[in-house]
Chain A
Amino acid sequence: MVGGKGLAGRTLRLYLPLGFFLVAMLFPFYWMAITSIKPNRELYSQKIMPMIVHQPTLKHYIDLFADTNFLTWTYNTMLVAVVTTVISLALGVMIGYPLARMNFPGAAVVTIGVAATYLVPQPLLFIPMADIINRLGLSNTLSAVMLTYPTLLIPFCAWLLMGYFKSVPRELEEAARIDGASRFQAMTRVVLPLCTPGLLSAGIFAFTLAQNEFLYALIFLTQSEVRTVPVGAITELIRGDVFYWGQLMAAALLGCVPVAIIYSFFVDYYVAGLTAGSVKS
């Protein structure tokens, strides 16, 4: 595209921009990592060269585990993410399958409804939702977020899975039905196994989004023992004007690790989910 052939051209149109993007995308993670192992003496000095760690220490990690409920927050985050992912996948399948495969009265309305709820952003709903959760007596319980996160995830899962369901040839289901399988069996034994990649994509996506959620958790969970990692970090490692930067960065890094690990195993499914809505048509 730009420049000539050979190494010079390749440097100009590949290596340089690639290097730029890599540094820009990854620097904050590098910064998290080295901040978390710097002693305070290095953190709060304008003189010491900040790009590297001179005397690494694990103090911030030890303090994080000893002085805060970080482990509880991690457990809460994981529990909520797993439960909401399972709920969202199950209900997503149950919505997506009929919409993709069946003719029935009301199908068009439900399809539009699902697409619209998919696009309704959370900030439009959080104030009435806070009041509803309050009246249900669910404040400061993990049920509050387990009940509300799926609203963000079900429409997405249903939408993504519809595409996969549509790609399974109808003949396979019909053959199973002729062999005596019920509609439900045709779905669970024939179509769902063939859509495993779609289920994985939707699951990974739901899991990362559930870990990312902040607004509902911030509003509903105000006691330390029920908090999730993002809320705990923001509310308890920043006290007034005092920032515990070492611990904050340790918490941020550890909070990113589970998502990053899951993601690294299923990156192709994640990308498939990401592009399914827009590229597949």
Chain B
Amino acid sequence: MAVGPATVARPATRAGRAFSRRSLFEREGVFSWVMLAPGVLFLLAFVAYPFFYGIFLSFQDRRVASAGTFVGLANFVTLAHDAVFWQVTRNTFIYTIVATLLKMVGGLAMALVMNQAFRGRNLVRAFFLLPFIVPTVLSTVAWMWILDPTFSVVNWTLRNTGLMTQNFSWLGNATLAMWSIIVVNTWRGLPFYGITLLAGLQTISPDLYEAAAIDGASITQRFWYITMPVLKPILIIVTMFSVIFTFSDFQLPYVLTHGGPANATHLFATYAFDIGMSAGVLGMGAAVALAMLPALALLIVALTLYLRRE
């Protein structure tokens, strides 16, 4: 960076020096970096550093309260031979894909329903977003009680409508438990899709539909040629966001099933927690967490580029 002429000159009077200091701060580059510095340093210290430190840890045999030893790729090799790890991988993909599809379809339906004029629409919209805004852990606890093995209200309803005779163990059976965490994740995330897509729908002028209808476009054609092109960019961004955070979900499976029964609902994050925190094997835990990276990196790079293009 060039030195300004003011500093080359002889030390000026106090007023003059204050002025030159001020004019330095008035330069775009200096001003920008002075403003940025605290935040950028903070993010470097608490995001970038932990990230690289995590990579470093994953190459170590490191337990809580003891020094680590470098073991190279040993942790990853162990994981590659760990049947549970592969089950966790499969679980995470199933969870992410099924929940995302459900949220997408359900959210689109919600947006289309909400895009009709009716009294109290704003109030309904506020209610619809509640699952998304309240602390996940607390609403998940409510679901835990709804799905309780003995006192489940779902079971009570099914029993009393004669649909079944005995209780389902919603969280105790491997398949049902996976479906349970998927349904609860959908319940929580669907409003995010619904309300953002609704915001997109509201930018479409009704005249467009009318004009298309007059030209003889069918309902399906109007949907695919007017609605979808507007929704597409929104759907892409919302989906990528939601996939990133579903893929790395921790709170919901941790509270609802703790990864059980028999690892059937363990995801990368909960499995990494069990190994790294509960068992205290930091190195291996960090390796499990890093296993998320390839898929996440693809998504993050894609979305970063997409956001920047806007």
Measured CB to CB, the residues of A under 8 A from B are 1, 13-14, 17-18, 21-22, 24-29, 31-32, 35, 43-44, 46, 50-51, 91-92, 94-95, 97-99, 102-107, 110-117, 119-132, 147-148, 150-151, 154-155, 158-159, 182-184, 208, 211-212, 214-215, 219, 229-231, 233-234, 243, 245, 248-249, 251-253, 255-256, 259-260, 263-264, 267, 270-271, 274-275, 277-279, 281
Task: Assess whether A124 is in contact with B293, with CB atoms less than 8 Å apart.
Answer: yes
Task: Assess whether A13 is in contact with B307, with CB atoms less than 8 Å apart.
Answer: no
**Chain A min CB distance to B190 (Å):** 8
Query: Is B195 on the interface with A (CB-CB < 8 A)?
Result: yes
Task: Assess whether A182 is in contact with B26, with CB atoms less than 8 Å apart.
Answer: yes
- Residues in A with CB closer than 8 Å to B109 are 17
Q: Which residue of B lies closest to A51 (CB)?
A: B153
Task: Assess whether A275 is in contact with B290, with CB atoms less than 8 Å apart.
Answer: no
- Residues in B with CB closer than 8 Å to A24 are 187
Known: A98-B31, A104-B28. A127 touches B282 (CB 8 A): yes
Task: Assess whether A211 is in contact with B135, with CB atoms less than 8 Å apart.
Answer: yes
Name B273's contact: one of A91, A126, A155, A252 (CB within 8 Å).
A126
How many residues from B make CB contacts under 8 Å with A? 101
**Chain B min CB distance to A60 (Å):** 13
**Chain A min CB distance to B53 (Å):** 4
Instruction: Mark B55-83 against chain A: 1 for CB-CB distance below 8 A, else 0.
Output: 01100000000000000000000000000
Task: Assess whether B153 is in contact with A102, with CB atoms less than 8 Å apart.
Answer: no
Known: A29-B130, A182-B26. A122 touches B250 (CB 8 A): yes
Name B35's contact: one of A22, A94, A275, A278 (CB within 8 Å).
A94
Name B40's contact: one of A51, A110, A130, A267 (CB within 8 Å).
A110
- Residues in B with CB closer than 8 Å to A208 are 133
- Residues in A with CB closer than 8 Å to B203 are 279
Known: A98-B35, A112-B308, A123-B268. A128 touches B57 (CB 8 A): yes
- Residues in B with CB closer than 8 Å to A264 are 126
Task: Assess whether A111 is in contact with B47, with CB atoms less than 8 Å apart.
Answer: no
Question: Which residues of chain B (275-293) have a CB below 8 Å from chain A?
Answer: 276-277, 282, 285-286, 289-290, 292-293
Task: Assess whether A29 is in contact with B38, with CB atoms less than 8 Å apart.
Answer: no
- Residues in B with CB closer than 8 Å to A43 are 151
Assembly CA distance A211 to B145 (angstroms):
22
Assembly CA distance A150 to B110 (angstroms):
32
- Residues in A with CB closer than 8 Å to B150 are 46
Known: A50-B156, A128-B50, A233-B138. A154 touches B133 (CB 8 A): no
**Chain B min CB distance to A132 (Å):** 6
